Structure 1
Amino acid sequence: MKFSDYCKAVATFIERAEGMDAVGKALGHSSPEITRRYYVQREAVVDFRQVLGVVAP
């Protein structure tokens, strides 16, 4: 796996929990369009919660 895969997975989890604005702020993007287009995945996402130590809600 590449680092970018982890970044996209975490961004997707943040988006689902807190919304697109939260992801953009966390990543320091000036435009939510950049976040949506390049970081938040719209299709199936590999579940990295166990690797990251996050407990499922």
Structure 2
Amino acid sequence: MKKIYLVLVLSGMILTSGCYTVRTAGNSGKVPPGQAKKAAGAKSARDFAPGHNKY
């Protein structure tokens, strides 16, 4: 009887510990230029805009 419970518990643990994927928001990591300006402490958001990146 104990073997049946052991098999059930082990199989349940294997089934529930399967693949786990983390889903994030679609624009994860991308912030608007104004918010990036605030975080950097800059005076202008122009340098953080997509068309004004300095290389």
TM-score between the two structures when normalised by the length of structure 1: 0.31
Rg (Cα) greater in structure: 2
Q: Hey, which of these two has a bigger chunk of helix by percent?
A: 1
TM-score between the two structures when normalised by the length of structure 2: 0.32
